[in-house]
A = this chain, B = another copy of it.
Amino acid sequence: MKFEDFKSKLQSGLNNQDLIIIIGECYVEYIGRATSKLPRGKRLIIIKADKSISIHENRLVRPTNYMMDSLISCQLLEDGEIQLLAKRLKPKESITIHLHEIESITNYSLPISNDLRLSGSEKELNDALMDDLSFLEEGLRPVNQQQVFRKGICDIIAEDKNGNLVVIELKRRKADLSCVTQLKMYVEQVSNLKNIKTRGILLAPEIRKSALELLEGYGLEYFSYDFEIKERSEIKGIGKSQKKLFEY
């Protein structure tokens, strides 16, 4: 494909905010947050209306190279090579696509919409949980949701029937070590701040064995729950899997 044809097609697509699909033999270099080289091979290149660019191989969901908010240009080198360039200032990074052969470039007029409607996010579960904490534990009542602390944001802060503060960390998937350390940190923060005995509850559908051990060692509590996703997320039930170890 001639450079002039390629360039005008590309310019037209960029101007119209089309979705641009390029198939071609190329060698890709990235320099920025890291560096990478993608040896010569046939690839799919996608340029979208928001100036995001991505280079895909014929496997995996994620692109091998990509950039958001890029400045896109192309140039013809003296030796006849066509280069497609994507640059960005913050962070400073660049993708250089050495196009040895262009099999096709096609522009598609697609709306720049943003209308995926997702159900079952943690936010929804959080709201559902806040509606009624008592089925987690009798006498538990919410004090605050998404409380911002000096260091981090607690999902839920509640008070139990004995007047203890309870920090609740909600997860929508199997809890791992990081969930436990996260909760631990919040409990420490709240405890220090309020200078009051504070419990910590990790609420997740499942928990990894090592995470449960760590949690128990910290004197925190774990509750399991099931959730069903319909129009709005519903929490089906709470299973108390673990009793508090230390009464301090």
Measured between alpha carbons, how far is A57 from B211 in the docked complex, in Å? 38
> Residue of B at shortest CB range from A213?
B151
CB pair A59 B49 closer than 8 Å: yes
How many residues of A are counted as interface, with CB atoms below 8 angstroms from the partner's CB atoms? 65
Decide: A39 near B115, CB < 8 A? Known: A34-B229, A150-B210, A214-B151. Answer: yes
Among A131-139, A158-166, A181-189, A238-246, which stretch is in contact with chain B?
Answer: A181-189
> Residue of B at shortest CB range from A119?
B35
Decide: A182 near B185, CB < 8 A? Known: A119-B35, A120-B35. Answer: no
> Residue of B at shortest CB range from A117?
B37
Contacts of A60 in B (CB 8 A): 48, 50, 52, 68
Decide: A116 near B229, CB < 8 A? Known: A52-B61, A68-B61. Answer: no
Decide: A116 near B38, CB < 8 A? Known: A21-B21, A48-B60. Answer: yes
Q: Is A56 an interface residue (CB 8 A)?
A: yes
CB pair B58 A113 closer than 8 Å: yes
Contacts of A109 in B (CB 8 A): 42
Decide: A43 near B110, CB < 8 A? Known: A59-B49, A177-B151, A178-B182. Answer: yes
Contacts of A54 in B (CB 8 A): 61
CB pair B46 A52 closer than 8 Å: no
Measured between alpha carbons, how far is A68 from B61 in the docked complex, in Å? 7
Contacts of A50 in B (CB 8 A): 58-60
Q: Is A63 an interface residue (CB 8 A)?
A: yes
Interface residues of A in 1-53 (CB under 8 A from B): 17-19, 21, 23, 33-39, 41-44, 46, 48-50, 52
Measured between alpha carbons, how far is A214 from B182 in the docked complex, in Å? 12
Ranked nearest first, the 4 interchain pairs of A and B with the lowest CB-CB distance are A34-B120, A58-B110, A181-B181, A50-B59
